[in-house]
Amino acid sequence: MKVVFERPKSLQATKTHYCPGCGHGVIHRLVAEVMDELGIQDKTIGVAPVGCAVLAYNYFDCDMQQAAHGRAPAVATGIKRALPDRVVFTYQGDGDLAAIGTAEIVHAAARGENITVIFVNNAIYGMTGGQMAPTTLVGQKTETSPYGRDPQIAGYPIRVCEMLATLDGPSFLARAELTDVKNINKTKSYIKKAFEMQLSGKGFSLVEILSPCPTNWGMKPKDAVDWVKNEMVKVFPPGVFKEPKEG
């Protein structure tokens, strides 16, 4: 019999703790498929964040470090500088990367640190139970913006790709949406490109993925995907924000 679908080698044979309809499982798989395809599993070190993906070290079958909240890019910098011939990636959520870890991500990008960042943007804090995130949309209701995010009180969402695209350091910055097969494939192609940048020594690469969080959004999984498609992409337009010029 021909095998048409199987677990990537770079994922462990285990169940995850992610909620039904959550994007993390898909994104883990895409990262693992890319590691397999590039043949880098054995020389990759991943950095897990604080947040829903904190247990990523139980799911990826590669060496992993668990970092303090927001500090993954600094931890990844330490690993990469110590072992420049290895592949180093961070896996971070929006609270981790765009709130408490803003300094670390901006400066890793500005240094052109030769690491790859997988940035999962679901516009909410998941692990702590649905608080307002730096990427929460204006008007979006969360545990800590119960009347909807009011810019007068809580300001506006941060567009990470656009912000980092002003810097000279990054080699590749792209935003994708985890909504349908076409876009999931596009997400994977961006992730692959990001790792290829690192492998060819071109410097900092980041893929932002708009990802559903049905549990904390209080939606059914399908409605959550529709919300990404209809609402999130209006504030966070998908696309490539920075890539090396050909030639």
- Applying CB under 8 A, which residues contact other proteins? 41-45, 47, 54-55, 57, 60-68, 71, 74-83, 86-87, 103-104, 106-107
Q: Which amino acid is at 211?
A: S
Q: Based on CB atoms, which residue is closest to other proteins, 45 or 210?
A: 45
How far from 236 is each of 22, 169, 208, CA to CA, in Å?
Answer: 19, 22, 10
Nearer CB in complex with other proteins: 108/174: 108
Nearer to other proteins, 106 or 154 (CB): 106
Taking the complex as a whole, how short is the minimal distance between the CB of residue 107 and other proteins, in angstroms? Answer: 4
Q: How far is the CB of 60 from other proteins (least distance, A)?
A: 7
Closest of 186, 138, 141, 180 to residue 159, by C-alpha:
138
Task: In whole angstroms, give the CA distance from residue 49 to residue 125.
Answer: 13
| Closer Cβ to other proteins, 38 or 235, answer by number | 38
d(CA 103, CA 118): 17
Q: How far is the CB of 164 from other proteins (least distance, A)?
A: 14
The contacts of residue 200 (CB under 8 Å, 6+ apart) are: none
Nearer to other proteins, 34 or 224 (CB): 34
> Closest CB to other proteins among 44 and 171?
44
| Residue 21 CB, nearest approach to other proteins (Å) | 23
Q: Determine the Cα–Cα distance for residues 146 and 243; give it in Å rounded to an integer.
A: 39
Neighbours of 171 (CB within 10 A): 23
Q: In the bound complex, what is the minimum distance in angstroms from residue 42's beta carbon to other proteins?
A: 5
Q: Amino acid identity, residue 234?
A: K
Chain-centre distance of CA 16, in angstroms? 17
Q: How far is the CB of 45 from other proteins (least distance, A)?
A: 5
Question: Nearer to other proteins by C-beta: 42 or 180?
Answer: 42
| Inter-residue contact 118 to 210 (CB < 8 Å) | no
CA neighbor of 96 nearest in space, from 136, 69, 118? 69
- Angle at CA of residue 21, ends 67 and 157, nearest 5°: 60
Q: Least distance (Å) from other proteins to the CB of residue 153?
A: 27
**Joined tokens for residue 179:** 């909504």
SS3 78: helix
